[in-house]
Structures are given as C-alpha cells and as structure tokens.
Amino acid sequence: MSSIIVRVKQKQISQLVSKGKRLDGRGLTDYREIKIEQGVVEKAEGSARVLLGKTEVMAGVKLEIGQPFSDTPNEGVLTVNAELVPLASPTFEPGPPDENSIELARVVDRGIRESKAIELEKLCIEPGKKVFVVFVDIYVLNHDGNLIDASALAATAALLNTKMFNYEIEDGEVKIKPGFSPLPIRKHPVAITFAKINNTLIVDPWLEEEQTMDARLTITVDDEGKICAMQKGGSGYFTPKQVLEAAKIAKEKAEEIRKKLNW
Amino acid sequence: MNEKIEKLINDKGLRLDGRKPEELRPIKIEVGVLSNADGSAYIQQGKNKILAAVYGPKELHPKHLALPDRTVLRCRYHMAPFSVQERKSPAPSRREIELSKVIREALEPSLFLEYYPRTAIDIFIEVLQADGGTRCASITAASLALADAGIPMRDLVAACAAGKVDDTIVVDLMDAEDKKGTADVPVALMPNFNAITLLQMDGDLTMKEFEKAFNMALEGCRKIYTLQKEALKAKYLNVKEVEE
C-alpha cells in the first residue's frame, strides 16, 4: 500500500506528465544516463554492471558443458535467470523467485533468444550430446525503476564480454586447451520500456513513475529495427494507437542507445 | 536428423488444417459448466480444451494480504500433465507462473475491483489439452467465468493471437504453426473500450508486419467477443418457466 507522501507525489507526477514534463526534468522520451562497466567479476566468463540512473543491475555469464534440447541437437542452450536480491529494495523478500523476477528473466530471455543474438549453432561440441550451456544470471542491486531495460542491457553487455575456453576432443572427452575466444554474438537487442501515466506514454520510468503508472509496455528491437519481443504489464490497458506509437518510438530509441554504446 | 520441414502454407495459400490466413479455428464455448464454482466456462478452440473457474469474492487467507480498498484478484494458469505430447510435470513451471501473471493483468482492467474491499477473487484455469494459443483461449474463458460468477465488469475480455508462418501473417496459430512459425503476437481486447489488456510478442517482425499481425489479432478478438456473448446468452437468455 502506498504512503501519503507517495500519493502526493503520484498526483504531482501525473499532472506534470499531462503537461509534457517529468519530476526529474527529463522529456517524455528521454532515458536516464546509462553507464556500463564490463568484466567486473573475474571468475565469471563474462560480466557487466549497468547503471540506469540510480537503478543498478549486474549480470554474470557462466558457461558449462551440458546436453542440448532434443529439438535443437546442434545448438547451445541459453538460460536466463533473475534475482531480485533483498538488498536492492525494501519490497524485495528473500526466497524462491516470485512472479516478478520470473517475468523479468523471461522478458530478457525472449529478447536475446528471439533476436538470435547468440550464435547458438556455434556452441555445439558433439551434436545431440554435448553443447555449451550459457547461463545468464541477472542480479538486481538497486531498484529505482525500469528493471527490464537495465537488465536487458546488462545481459547483452555481459554476453559481449564473455570468453569461451578453447577445447579439443580426445577419445570422446572434452579437453580444455589454453586460451580463450569470444562468445559469438550477432545481434544486440535493446529493450525499451514505456509507462502509461495519465493516458500519456513515457519511456524509462523510474521508481515513483512506476508506482504511478497504469500499465507498462516493453518492446525489444534488434539491430535491423525489427521487433523481437514485447510484453505488456500492469493492471491498466493501452489503445491500439498507443501500441503503434510506442513501436515507432522504441525503434528510434533502440537505435539511439545502440549508437551511444557502439553496439 | 529431422526430415524436411513440411510447408506450413500450401500453394493455394491454405494452412495445415485447411484454414485461410485470416480464419479462426472452430470455437465452442459453454458457460456454467462446474456446479461448485461461483462461475465457470469451458472453451474448445481447435484442439485446445480449457476449463476456467471463479471462486469469490470470498475471505482472503492469510488475512494480512487483504487490501482495504479493493479485492485481491488471484489467477492460476495450469496445464494438466497429459495436455501435451510429452508429460508435463504438474509442478508450476516458470512459463505457467508468468502466464498466470499476464492473464491476471489482462483481466484486471475489466473488473470493478473496488466493489469488494478486503476480499479475494480466485481464477483457476486448467488446460486439459493444449494446441497453441492456450493463454488467449484461457483469457476468453476466464472472462466468461467471471461474468458467470456475477462479478461486475466494464466489458468482457476477448483474446486472440496472430503470427508469422512461412512469411505469411496468420491469425489463431495452432501448435505446429506456433513451434515452426517465426513470430507470435497474443493480444487481449476489451472491444467496447478498444482497450488492449494483454500484449506479448516473440519472434522477428518488421514494423509493417507487426502492424498487420496486430490488426489481424484485434479482428480475431472481435470475432471471439461475438461468440462469448452468444455463449452467455445461451445460458442466461433461455430461462425455463417453472411450473407452480
């Protein structure tokens, strides 16, 4: 339940948005500052820490050798998991993943999977038997809104930073050889999240805007400007016109962010 | 390993089950099928067979979860172990947990939740047989179950998916099309408000393709809406005269 202070702010945020303004001075389609640091955890095969304003997310990539899925025997396996660790927000509780962290992981997963960002077919060691399994673990360290976009950025940045160990096969056994090669990445999906406040769309909502919004819409766009994933959230709705408008803005914003990051 | 993938759209432009791209599967809906539930509905959409039941408004346990200004809507989407080719473990999967959340959020905007403070309304969805597009069929059935339970609502929620198979945009994908196709866009709509309450997408679509698929799904929702109303009328319009 929201406190009185939050309610006063909600009213203020809502009134400002209807005038085309935001509490933190941003324009309706402005992102907060994005800072990315890669290779922050040496023991992980790849890692990145992303700051989106005050929202902070870390992603780590671990590689293991495992079995492929029976319907894709020649492809590596991607697994995305997200943890809303209790130190990140007073609303996060310890325990098994709840629906919010599962949704977060699955939306990030869909963006990477559906854009075919990782060349999974290059991760096959022995068809049907041995492939690389890519574990992407998203760790939310500070929650100040828009966890989806920050997590998607962290996941992609960590994958770009991932080193695969070299190997050779000797008598059916995988032997690790010295040296590393980069994980083959072909696409850089960028997730753009909208919040609907007072029937107006804004991008990159921060925490208090999320507490005010009626509904949320995430659109993930790949390098060619194609849409590869979408997810509506929240207990409100969008009109068809708003959805198409959001798709257009998402394409522009994704391009802008990719250019800024040199992806 | 796997044999040549058969064509999903034949030379005449027809789909595996003979449908045209803009054609829905045969749909059968029945309202009020479970005697214990406050409201219920059953839907058959192609080979999908789904039951939805609503219990409530009722007291919420544990009590500290109750809200002072509105009811708590809870939703469980669950697939029977025998509903798919390979047995599905009955424990809720991550997919089912996500779908339970998005289905709840698709139905919430249609309800006057503030009418029943400090209570809970439970929606249970059991997929008995799955053949693609179960989340949409579940929403269609669950909205009717809510209506059958007499929960005040702004509008029914109708849901339908569209997607891309073999470079053709088609509506209401069945399992084979969903698996081998390249995109899937499930949409839920409150037709009287033109309000989209569920929107997901996975695959790879250009802006133009997305717009086409999106509009096709909306058209599908409107057709399903007509069927929903007919199903409600079938139960509630034919009141039998009771002899004294």
In B156-176, which positions are buried (b, 16+ CB within 10 angstroms) versus exposed (e)? bbbbbbbbbbeeebbbbbbbb
Has residue B13 been placed in a domain?
A: no
Q: Report cis status (omega within 30 of 0) of the bond before B57.
A: yes
Has residue B239 been placed in a domain?
A: no
Structure tokens at B201: 């997408």
CA distance A7 to B124: 33
CA distance A182 to chain B (A): 25
Q: Identify all chain B residues contacting A229, using CB atoms and an 8 Å cutoff.
A: 201-202
A112 pLDDT exceeds 70? yes
CA distance A55 to chain B (A): 23
Cβ pair B57, B147 in contact under 8 A: no
CA distance B29 to chain A (A): 25
Q: How confident is the model over A177-189, as pLDDT tens digits?
A: 888 999 999 999 9
Q: Identify all chain A residues contacting B197, using CB atoms and an 8 Å cutoff.
A: 232, 237
Q: In this predicted structure, what is the pLDDT of residue B3?
A: 45
Q: How confident is the model over A156-171, as pLDDT tens digits?
A: 999 999 999 888 888 8
Which one, of A136, A63, A132, lies nearest residue A105 by Cα? A136
Contact A228 B202 (CB under 8 A): yes
Q: Identify all chain B residues contacting A236, using CB atoms and an 8 Å cutoff.
A: 109
CA distance B104 to chain A (A): 8
The interface pTM score, or ipTM, of the predicted complex is 0.90
Give the contacts of B149 (CB within 8 A, at least 6 positions apart): B37, B38, B39, B54, B55, B56, B121
CA distance A231 to A216: 8
Minimal-distance CA residue of chain B relative to A109: B202
> Taking residues A192-202, what's their average pLDDT?
97
Q: How confident is the model over A215-259, as pLDDT tens digits?
A: 999 999 999 999 999 999 999 999 999 999 999 999 999 999 999
CA distance A183 to chain B (A): 22
Residue B121, amino acid: I
Q: In this predicted structure, what is the pLDDT of residue B244?
A: 65
pLDDT grade for A174, boundaries at 50, 70 and 90 = confident
Has residue B6 been placed in a domain?
A: no
Q: In this predicted structure, what is the pLDDT of residue A32?
A: 97
Q: In this predicted structure, what is the pLDDT of residue A1?
A: 45
Structure tokens at A4: 């009185």
CA distance A35 to A116: 25
CA distance A254 to A188: 10
Give the domain range for residue B224: 27-233
Q: In this predicted structure, what is the pLDDT of residue B2?
A: 44
Orientation angle between helical segments A147-160 and A99-114, nearest 10 degrees: 50
Sort A23 into a burial class: Cβ within 10 Å, 0-12 / 13-18 / 19+: middle
A135 pLDDT exceeds 70? yes
Specify the range with the lowest mean pLDDT, choosing from A19-33, A163-177, A203-217.
A163-177
For chain B, helix, strand, coil in percent to 5 are 30, 30, 40
Phi-psi region of A101 (alpha: psi -120 to 50; beta: other; left: phi over 0): alpha
- Interface residues of chain B, partner chain A, Cβ below 8 Å: 1, 67-68, 94-95, 97-98, 100-102, 105, 108-109, 185, 190, 193-207, 210-211, 214-215, 218
Q: What are phi and psi of A170, to 5 degrees?
A: -130, 115
Contact A232 B101 (CB under 8 A): no
Q: What are phi and psi of B101, to 5 degrees?
A: -70, -50
Q: What are phi and psi of B145, to 5 degrees?
A: -65, -40
Contact A243 B204 (CB under 8 A): no
Contact B207 A248 (CB under 8 A): yes
Has residue B19 been placed in a domain?
A: no
- Cβ contacts below 8 Å, chain A against chain B, sum to 97
CB hemisphere CA count around A93 (13 angstroms): 5
Show which of residues 70-109 on chain A sit within 8 Å of chain B, judged by CB atoms: 73, 97, 99, 102-103, 105-106
A16 touches chain B (CB under 8 A): no
**Secondary structure of residue A183 in the 3-state scheme:** coil
Distance in Å from the first CA to the final CA of chain A: 41
Residue with tokens 């049907």: A128
CA distance A174 to A172: 7
pLDDT grade for A176, boundaries at 50, 70 and 90 = confident
Contact A217 B199 (CB under 8 A): yes
CA distance B60 to B142: 20
Specify the range with the lowest mean pLDDT, choosing from A49-53, A107-111, B235-239.
B235-239
Number of domains in chain B: 1
Cβ pair B68, B113 in contact under 8 A: no
Phi-psi region of A72 (alpha: psi -120 to 50; beta: other; left: phi over 0): beta
Contact A235 B190 (CB under 8 A): no
Q: Identify all chain A residues contacting B199, using CB atoms and an 8 Å cutoff.
A: 217, 230-232, 238, 243
Q: Where are the beta strands (DSSP E) in chain B?
A: 27-31, 39-45, 48-59, 72-79, 119-129, 158-165, 168-171, 183-190, 195-205
Cβ pair A63, A78 in contact under 8 A: no
Contact A240 B108 (CB under 8 A): no
Which one, of A233, A210, A198, lies nearest residue B188 by Cα? A233
Q: Where are the domains of chain A?
A: 23-261
Give the contacts of A125 (CB within 8 A, at least 6 positions apart): A65, A131, A132, A167, A169, A174
CATH code, domain carrying B114: 3.30.230.70
CA distance B195 to B51: 25
Interface-testing mutation among A69, A103, A113, A230, with chain B (most B C-beta atoms within 10 A): A230
Q: Identify all chain B residues contacting A230, using CB atoms and an 8 Å cutoff.
A: 185, 199-202
Enumerate residue ranges in chain B where pLDDT < 70.
Answer: 1-5, 239-240, 244
Interface-testing mutation among A106, A228, A232, A255, with chain B (most B C-beta atoms within 10 A): A232
Q: Which fold has domain A23-261?
A: Ribosomal Protein S5; domain 2 (3.30.230)
Q: Nearest Cβ partner of B206 from A99, A226, A244?
A: A226
Q: In this predicted structure, what is the pLDDT of residue B1?
A: 39
A111 pLDDT exceeds 80? yes
CA distance A9 to A157: 34
Orientation angle between helical segments B94-107 and B134-148, nearest 10 degrees: 50
